[in-house]
Amino acid sequence: MTDDGTIELAPDGYIARGNGSMVFRHPTDPGTLLKIPVAARPERLRRRLSGVLRPSKRRFGGYREWFREYDEYIAAIRKAGALPGCLPAPRGFVQTTLGPAFAVEMIRDLTDGALALTVEAYLDAHDPHTLRPALDRFFEEVARLRIVFFDLRLYNLCVVRDGSGVPVRVVAIDSIGENTLLGVRKWSALSHRLWLRHARADFMRRV
């Protein structure tokens, strides 16, 4: 950390790269990850026009992902009256040598405190049936709180295991929020129910 409190990060030190972000471990807080936007590509005409139609894109630019995650997390809190278990908790913003970063809870295994495996990595080494109860709880919470994702993939969810190695919680770590112009699934219970039915069936076919 520099004298002014800026967190020092190496450009090639990221541990993952998701939808528009590089993800780093926080150098002094083992329970926190730092998301930094990937440098934006030159915009083509179609992308510039989509920005005209999407106020959030014009306002937030490359930081729109952060806005979507906060928006979805706060909406889930309002519905639940508690912190949602299927989303990582936001932990604010910090300055790094690579630019501003969005700090989020690092999802860790209860077995050893290490970074939790993605569903994809878990299934490479374990029987899919051992994961079904935790996945069912995940989708039930998503349905109850009407949480929206724009890309439900095996590598976008993490598996938290208890001390004996049994999956107890599934958490979405990427693609949180709605990435459409009108955001219908956020506002319409019917639209969300139809979307989730299809998204859940499609996801479970890959498990």
CA-CA distance, 143 to 174, in Å (whole number)? 18
In tens, the pLDDT along 138-190 reads 999 999 999 999 999 999 999 999 999 999 999 999 999 998 878 899 999 99
State phi, psi for 104 to the nearest 5 degrees: -135, 155
Coil, helix or strand at residue 187: helix
**pLDDT grade for 18, boundaries at 50, 70 and 90:** confident
Report whether 156 contacts 23 (CB < 8 A).
no
How much is the pLDDT for 45? 45
The pTM score is 0.89
Produce one character per residue of 167-186: b if its CB has 16 or more CB atoms within 10 Å, e if not.
bebbbbbbbbbbbeeebebb
In tens, the pLDDT along 47-98 reads 554 555 567 777 888 898 999 999 999 999 999 999 999 999 999 999 999 9
Report whether 118 contacts 158 (CB < 8 A).
yes
